[in-house]
Amino acid sequence: MIDEIIDNPQELFAHISDGAYVITPNNRLSQQLIQDYFKARSTGVLEKPFCLAYPAFLQKLYLTALQKFPKNSHPIVLNDMQESHLWRLILEGETPHSPEPGLIEEIKEACSRCQQWDIEVKEPRFLHSPQTERFQQWRLVFQNKLKELGAISAAQIVSYLVQGHYLPAIPALIWVSFNDYTPEQLMLQRSLKKLGCKQYCYDLAGEPSSPLLYGAKDEQDEWMQIIQWLKARFAKNEQRIAVVVPDLEGASHRINRLLARHLEGHQYNISLGEAMLKFPVAAHALAFLTLDNTSPIPVHRAKLLLYSPYLKGGQSELLARAELIENCSLLKEPAVFLPDILPVISQKAPVLASILVNMTEFPNEAAIPQWIFLFKKRLAELGFPGDYPLPSATYQCLQRLLVLFDELLPLSLIYTTLSKTKALEAFEELLKKTIFQPGKDASPIQILGLLEAVGSTFDSIWVSGLTDQCLPQKTRLSAFIPYDLQREKRMPHALPEQELKLARDMLSRLRCGSKHSVFSYPRLTGDTPNLPSPLLGDCAPFQPLPLSHSGRRALVKQEEPYYLPLQDDESATGGTSLLANQAKCPFRAFAAHRLHAVKEPEIVLGFNHQERGQLMHQIMENLWQTLKSQQALFAFSPQELENCIERIIHEALAPYLKAHRHTYPPAIQEVEISRLKALVKANLEWEKERPPFEINALEKTYTMHLAGIEFNIRVDRIDTVGDEKWVIDYKTTLPAYKPWNEERPEEPQLLLYALLDKDIRTLLFLELKAGTLTCSGISSHKLSLQGISAIKKDERFEDKQQFWHAQLTRIAAEFQSGFCAPRPKRKTICERCEFQNLCRIEMQ
């Protein structure tokens, strides 16, 4: 139906000046044609030409029909979001589970192809397989739903305009860079021809450039050559340089990092938007909308409330909110309830607490316009987007986000009302499907996808990744349309010869679109070998450019002594853990006790390791405050002891259960109480086997000085046994190494406790785990208790205490001097260290 072929840009611009309509396969090509037209017609005042991508052209034709025939009753054209939700409703009626977005997109695409290729709804070949038969049934339901709504899909616009004789009179129409025409487009061409519209076809012509081919060692080598090539072309003052990346979506972040190291930000632009949901301002807004006083909030979302800069008071309460993230015990749970955490927030961050308290709750169900109002109101109540000035890109994203709420309104055609969950899901889906890229000044270097670059013109172009897997592409048949029907109708990606022709046309347009072109492919992608595309056989080899090393500097070797002495106003804190960390690794002590680096709290369901230890200590302290001696223990009857144990466990457990009431239901509480009873009873059975004793001290705090450092130490328990004393330290797990045998003791607390009193003669670790008790200790004399070893006959315990004092003093002096080398006592310490990112010992 094409009347004439145009191959000259000037002739194209002349037709545009005469009022011809221009349609292109994509938006980028239409925008470039408009720019080129204005550049070629730089004198005088010009009217903006009618140049649109094909889908926008059809929408324009439909709007023209509405204006030309206002008295007729026209259907509503569903937008992409409406069509997706209509299909979702249909599929939800067929399956018990909510359909995946990917499945909906495949069905939409199949339905659109059937319309564009004029395939009847009752085509008998759909009955040949269960899947295509089911799709045929869905398509019938879809058509009936459209009739009920008085609507049509975007794929039905052409047939509606042609059958209703609503096409406007167009003087001339130019089809630019189309590969093939669908039956729908051919029908549109025939109908326009009947109305007197003269139609042209325009494609890049002229002598194709002779591209060079570079077979790179791998992707890294390929991109280093691209960067050197870009610098060379930029040095020649070229203003339209393109790099084409077939898999731009998957590689964009890696490419951006590479280019940022070698080029200025204003020199290049990656022509790829991202889903709105990937932008922090939009993701935070969605998180704020999901807040609910009655449902648990995932802990990562609760923390978001504290560190987000997009809430009121985010700047003035920055430090207070950061402190809450570090210290709030409720944030160690997998989920929290907003009413539980609000009292804690109000103490440190009253502004945040105020906006959360006054936040309007959402109803369970509402109409779409009401949801739009409520979403905007919620964000306004929270002071969104916060107090900080917004960078340009964030501000642009915010403006797009605010408009996006109103784009939910068309869903009123599909739903009368929506539940709270469905409304939030609809907005989240809209954020995922809306592609956004912040605007920036024009850049000479454009990084483009393959389809986007085809048809455009450049000064120079480099096409990367042209392996045999890239072009020609493999066939990709739709699972919902009979295969033989797709091949018969020559649908996209249905025939190998079709893909071959498409690939050849693409490469031809790329060659015609630039005077200088380079094609490349990596011989290796990871460990996978590649071959070049078979369509590149006539290319001359590209000579690799020398890589620039001007940015590199000579390596200066400097020996680090790792001595950073404490400052006059700096005080060391940390108790016995300071000595333990210095003994394990000096840098570990430096990070923990001077940098005050803290590992992010571990998120566990129920009590964490620290809480279990604290709970057990509390129970044992309360128990021995009641018993006081072994004699009193024997005096209790079994029932009295049982009652005593149960009461003490309940009293100690109460505050922990209050803090974890949502993750510790009654059934789990009973299990925990039984576990604690078993531990306590195992301990008391062991205590009965000991020599008689009395409690001397429980959880008592002492002060000790070593090498000028003051240590505040808290002893679990000291017993008086005859004329000597025993020190007992409770553990949930016994140390793997016995501190009294180590040169640099990793668990120095018992040795430090031994220095408190000259009468101390036994040091003992008690492990309480799984209803059993295990002890490990050292004594001045032999004892009948298993696990306690005696010192040698020719040794005195007083000498041991003096040795430990000197040993611990050396370690404390080492810390005091500022020695902080990353020298772990053994390799396994690094494996369990939380400061690996600071010391980076693996890089040595």
Residues 113 and 184 in one domain: no
Please check whether residue 186 is in contact with residue 199, taking contact to mean a CB–CB distance below 8 angstroms. Answer: no
Q: Are residues 136 and 184 in the same domain?
A: no
Residue 55 lies in a domain: yes
Q: Which stretch of DSSP H or E encloses residue 120?
A: none
- Residues 675 and 809 grouped into a single domain: yes
Compute the distance between CA of residue 356 and CA of residue 295 in angstroms, rounded to an integer.
15
| Burial class (CB within 10 angstroms; exposed 0-12, middle 13-18, buried 19+) of 787 | middle
Q: What is the pTM of this model?
A: 0.84
Whichever domain contains 232, its CATH number is: 3.40.50.300
Query: Does residue 134 sit in the same domain as residue 165?
Result: no
pLDDT for the residue numbered 558: 83
In terms of residue numbers, what domain contains 42? Answer: 4-73+159-202
- One domain for residues 668 and 812: yes
| 195, 162 Cβ separation under 8 angstroms | no
**In-domain check, residue 194:** yes
Residue for token pair 């693996």: 842
736 in the same domain as 700: yes
For residue 217, the model assigns a pLDDT of 96
Residue 46 lies in a domain: yes
On whether both 177 and 234 belong to a single domain, the answer is no
CA distance 346 to 339: 11
Output the pLDDT for position 841: 73
The answer on 734 and 598 residing in a single domain is yes
Q: Is residue 832 part of a domain?
A: yes
Residues 641 and 787 in one domain: yes
Residue 557 lies inside a defined structural domain of this protein: no
In whole angstroms, how far apart are CA 721 and each of 191, 641, 727, 790?
A: 108, 23, 11, 16
Same domain, 368 and 291: yes
Tell me, yes or no, whether 568 lies in a domain.
no
What distance in Å separates the CA atoms of residue 491 and residue 483, rounded to the nearest whole number? Answer: 10
Same domain as 405, residue 303: yes
Give me the residues of the chain with pLDDT under 50, please: none
Q: Which of 401, 436, 471 is the last residue of a domain?
A: 436
Within this chain, do residues 701 and 815 fall inside the same structural domain, yes or no?
yes
Number of domains in the chain: 5
Q: Kindly report, residue by residue over 234-263, the tens digit of the pLDDT.
A: 999 999 999 999 999 999 999 999 999 999
The pLDDT value recorded for residue 1 is 75
Domain assignment of residue 587, yes or no: yes
Q: Is the peptide bond before 472 cis (omega within 30 degrees of 0)?
A: yes
User: Domain containing 665 — which CATH number?
Assistant: 3.90.320
pLDDT in tens, 744-783: 999 999 999 999 999 999 999 999 887 788 999 999 999 9
Within a domain: 548: no
Residue 614: HSE in the Cβ half-sphere, 13 Å Cα cutoff: 8
How far is the C-alpha of 844 from the C-alpha of 650, rounded, in Å?
A: 52
